[in-house]
């Protein structure tokens, strides 16, 4: 069944000159593997490009928006804005899930794996927009959908370095510095996901997942804060 791409364009506020680029942005590798005769390409190269464009646009925004913030704090802000949790939520707001081209097996998985796919697809759309219309249009797309989201995150306090906060709380409450341990990693080298446990002494307090060990640690720390009731 052909997707109504104009419906997505209307929602996203971007009208593509090359519709095949837009379609490619939503095409997961699993779909290609299951449909060998299709002329489509999967979206991983677009994701690679979009990731770089997204990071530059967000970095430039934060640098200008917070002129007194040090590098470390800006890095934390950027991580919070471009991690898979944030991007998958933005993708969901754009109804990207309705346009994904997945294998039958992949389409049944609506858990954490789908979050990663949605986050990657958002980056792919950024890359496709950049190729189709240039940097300024890609920047406008990111501004419209990420920067507004950033304001909401700041308002509800989501731009906190949860790992640092959990360490402060743990040292205050128990006198112990938390430790982190990689539990498992999965997926191909270009698209790995990591699960990390956070511990006080030998007790596992929580686990977290992410596209990098650092992101997994931040998510584990956030869950640990909730588990311990140390969230203000």
CB–CB of 5/17 below 8 Å?
A: no
d(CA 141, CA 149): 12
Q: Of 225, 188, 192, nearest to 209 (Cα)?
A: 192
Q: Which string of DSSP letters, residue by residue, matches 99-116?
A: G-B--HHHHT--SHHHHH
Tell me the torsion sign for CA atoms 203, 206, 210, 214.
Answer: negative
CB–CB of 78/61 below 8 Å?
A: no
CB–CB of 230/208 below 8 Å?
A: no
Q: DSSP strand E in the chain: where?
A: 179-186, 193-200, 203-210
List the catalytic residues. Answer: 51, 123
Q: Of 43, 45, 135, 33, nearest to 91 (Cα)?
A: 43
């Amino acid at each position: 069944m052909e997707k109504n791409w104009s419906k997505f364009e209307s929602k996203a506020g971007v009208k593509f000159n090359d519709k095949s680029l837009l379609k490619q942005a939503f095409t997961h590798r699993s779909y290609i593997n299951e449909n060998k005769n299709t002329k489509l390409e999967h979206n991983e190269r677009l994701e690679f490009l979009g990731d770089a464009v997204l990071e530059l646009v967000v970095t430039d925004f934060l640098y200008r928006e917070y002129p007194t913030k040090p590098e470390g704090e800006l890095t934390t802000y950027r991580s919070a804005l471009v991690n898979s949790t944030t991007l998958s939520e933005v993708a969901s707001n754009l109804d990207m899930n309705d346009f994904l081209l997945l294998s039958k097996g992949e389409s049944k998985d609506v858990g954490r794996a789908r979050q990663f796919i949605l986050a990657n697809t958002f980056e792919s759309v950024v890359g496709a927009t950049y190729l189709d219309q240039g940097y300024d249009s890609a920047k406008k797309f990111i501004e419209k959908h990420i920067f507004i989201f950033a304001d909401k995150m700041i308002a509800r306090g989501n731009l906190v370095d949860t790992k640092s906060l959990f360490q402060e709380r743990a040292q205050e409450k128990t006198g112990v510095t938390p430790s982190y341990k990689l539990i498992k990693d999965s997926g191909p080298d270009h698209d790995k996901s990591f699960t990390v446990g956070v511990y006080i002494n030998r007790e596992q307090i929580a686990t977290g997942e992410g596209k990098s060990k650092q992101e997994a640690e931040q998510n584990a720390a956030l869950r640990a804060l909730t588990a311990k009731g140390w969230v203000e």
